[in-house]
Amino acid sequence: MGEEKNVLTREHAKAHDATDAFARYREEFYLQPEVIYLDGNSLGLMSKRAELKVAELMDSWKTLAIEGWTKGKYPWFFLSEKLGAMCAPLVGALEDEVIVSGSTTSNIHQLIATFYKPEGKRTKILADELTFPSDIYALQSQIKLRGYNPDEELLRVKSRDGKFLAEEDIIVAMTDEVALIFLPTVLYRSGQLLDIKRLTAEANARGICIGFDACHSIGAIPHHFSEWGVDFGVWCNYKYLNGGPGSVAGLYVNKKHFGIYPGLAGWYSSKKDKQFDMEHTLDVELSAGAFQIGTPHVLSLAPILGSFELFAEAGIEQIRQKSLKITQFLSDLVEQELEGLGFSIGNPQEDDRRGGHICLEHEEAIRICKALIENRIIPDNRPPNIIRLAPVAFYTSYEEIWDTVQVLKTIVKEKQYEKYSKERNVVS
């Protein structure tokens, strides 16, 4: 017979909190009284350091005016590069392989426009059917701009169960007709972490350019993009990285591609020392900076400075260990406390396959989420049946996880959800 699991209690949660090295970081964030925030995989909380950096950058505008571009504590002209260097350890890249610029979707357009080079029989882009819609829209758009039909040239690897992708299926689809591969690092619904190293090696062996959307992994999971040979990557900075709503995004380009002409060239694609020569011939920057298009959004970059300081202090490997431990605690509690109430866990259970959030499935997910919010617990809903719960290493406590599961049990047992509409909110 198998060994029985110990029954988890609130005291276990308190014991974990008492030894949690990240407990001290809770005071770095604006946690609202009596609110449990489990939506950091959609929008991270504001840190006090982020607020401070915004004030500092506002002050530089106030006191330096145009001289702020080259003077002050954070000269604006070089701010995207500075942030790129701070972000590089989070994706396992060299400092000049990362730039903080644009938005996720504009960066997808930039890098697909750069690396999608259909020629001969190699005309297809390989993606998957479970990826975020914005990625598909951008890929379809780029295919159309090349004069091709997206229905024919965009291949989407099918999921065997509607939740996960099998790396074997992706590899089989890497045919000699594929010009470029673009995949998520972590699936936004189920939280499945793909084997990025293996997929990259298989693409490299076939001479196919491969890139990743790391929106749902950066800041929660360590990566080694440069070492693995990933060609390019994109991500947002407002989820686990706590950069603020609409925060400036980031991109990575492997150094082997430095000097390539950007698909969408702009003033900031230029070498920094040549930019103000005002020539009509672009002297392309030999770094990821070449893939900037326009002037950096200085005031929107400011919060990321404070956030990246916290990541440098904590370390991404340590963040991952806390994330794995607390998401496992949540999974174990769901299994123990919510049995027979219609819940099931829809994400991988293995540590090397699980991202930073728990995918909780229930046929009444939409209404349960509304009831959670009324109980001052902030979840995330993905229709029709997914409740996403993201314990964030920096600011989520184990006792909050215990309380959340108890509230979920009460909501379903007392049928509190029945007073809500089954229609999803405009933003879910």
pLDDT at position 428: 61
Contacts 24+ apart (CB under 8 A), 229-234: 229/200, 229/201, 229/204, 229/254, 230/196, 230/200, 230/254, 231/115, 231/257, 232/111, 232/114, 232/115, 232/257, 233/91, 233/185, 234/104, 234/107, 234/108, 234/111
- 355 and 228, same structural domain? no
Residue 402 assigned ligand-binding role: no
Is residue 184 in a domain? yes
Is residue 35 in a domain? no
Residue 369 is part of a domain; what is its CATH number? 3.90.1150.10
Q: Which residues pair with 32 in a beta bridge?
A: none
- 309 and 385, same structural domain? no
- 265 and 184, same structural domain? yes
Residue 228 assigned ligand-binding role: no
Residue 238 assigned ligand-binding role: yes
Structural domain containing residue 203: 51-314
Residue 270 assigned ligand-binding role: no
Residue 307, C-beta contacts closer than 8 angstroms, at least 6 positions apart: 44, 47, 49, 50, 237, 241, 242, 243
- Indicate the pairing of strand 124-128 with strand 178-184: parallel
Is residue 358 in a domain? yes
pLDDT at position 2: 44
Residue 216 assigned ligand-binding role: yes
Q: Which of 295, 314, 333 is the last residue of a domain?
A: 314
Residue 75 assigned ligand-binding role: no
- 291 and 301, same structural domain? yes
- 191 and 105, same structural domain? yes
- 271 and 156, same structural domain? yes
Residue 134 assigned ligand-binding role: yes
Residue 327 assigned ligand-binding role: no
- 303 and 216, same structural domain? yes
Give per-residue pLDDT as tens, 14-67: 999 999 999 999 999 999 999 999 999 999 999 999 999 999 999 999 999 999
- 289 and 358, same structural domain? no
Residue 331 assigned ligand-binding role: no
Residue 61 assigned ligand-binding role: no
Is residue 40 in a domain? no
Q: How many domains does the chain have?
A: 2
Is residue 427 in a domain? no
- 247 and 328, same structural domain? no
Is residue 376 in a domain? yes
- 286 and 413, same structural domain? no
Residue 9 assigned ligand-binding role: no
Stretches where the chain sits below pLDDT 70 are 1-5, 426-428
- 150 and 23, same structural domain? no
Is residue 374 in a domain? yes
Q: Which of 256, 281, 314 is the last residue of a domain?
A: 314
- 321 and 378, same structural domain? yes
pLDDT at position 6: 85
Is residue 42 in a domain? no
